[in-house]
Each structure stands twice: as C-alpha cells, then as structure tokens.
Amino acid sequence: MTDIIDVDTNNRKAEGLKTVGWISYLLHLIVALGAVIPGAQPGAVLLVVALVLDLVKKSDAEGTWQANHFSWRIRTVIWAGVLYVVTAPLWLLFFVPGWIAWGLISLWFLYRIVRGMVAMNSNRAVDA
C-alpha cells in the first residue's frame, strides 16, 4: 500500500514540476534558436535565469522522472558553456573555424533542448 501512495505522490510531484520544466525548456529554446539564427541572439541572461531555476528546483524533483530533466538541462548548459569557452580562441585567430565550431555547438544545444521537450511532453525521462 505504501508503494502505491509513494508512486502517486511522486506522480503528483512530477506533474507539479512540469510548469517549471516548460519554463526552463522554453528559455533554453529561445537561447538555442537565437544561437543558430543569425542576428537573433537574445542574450545569455535568459540562459542564466533558466540555469538558476533548474538548480534551485532540482531537489524538489528527486524521486520523480522530472529529476532526469533537471539534470539533463543543467548538464546541457554546462557542457555548452565549456565548449563555447574552449572554442572562443578560434574566433580571435580564425573567423571561419570559430563560426563553424559555435554553429555546431549551437545545433547540438538545440537538439538537446528539443529532445528533452519531446520526452517531457510524453511524461518520461530523457534517455541518456
């Protein structure tokens, strides 16, 4: 009986966190689209807001399928940030390789966000 109550509680908790997840994913999506559409960069502020939101609410998702999404978004932002920083010198030395590297990173970032949104829309964790 306790297992049924725990599952029900976790399902309700996961559903309650869906709004937070959608807000975070939409902020990420705006930034990701801005990164691949020339001249449409909305700024990193939205990304920082989404990252802080995810970091603050991550503990609320423990024990639910939503926990996977919080980790997925946080890892995506951290990896994208590291890759952007590591490839930044390419912009200073050679314009074209920098543009190509950042374009590929931006497409990867967009892919991860869309993949997460699709999984969350289906009420399931993102497959790693």
Spatial CB neighbours of 61, under 8 Å, sequence gap ≥ 6: 13, 14, 17, 67, 69, 70
pLDDT of residue 96: 84
128 part of a folded domain: no
pLDDT of residue 98: 84
**pLDDT tens, residue order, the chain (128 aa):** 555 555 667 778 778 899 999 999 999 988 888 777 766 666 678 888 999 999 999 999 998 899 999 999 999 999 988 998 898 888 787 788 888 888 899 899 999 999 999 999 999 999 85
117 part of a folded domain: yes
Range of the domain at 97: 2-121
79 part of a folded domain: yes
33 part of a folded domain: yes
28 part of a folded domain: yes
Residue with structure tokens 């940030």?
Answer: 81
pLDDT of residue 60: 93
pLDDT of residue 116: 96
127 part of a folded domain: no
Q: Indicate the number of domains in the chain.
A: 1
pLDDT of residue 124: 92
Q: Report, in angstroms and rounded to the nearest whole number, the Rg of the chain calculated over CA atoms.
A: 17
User: pTM for the whole thing?
Assistant: 0.82
Angle between helices 2-36 and 45-57 (to 10 degrees): 170
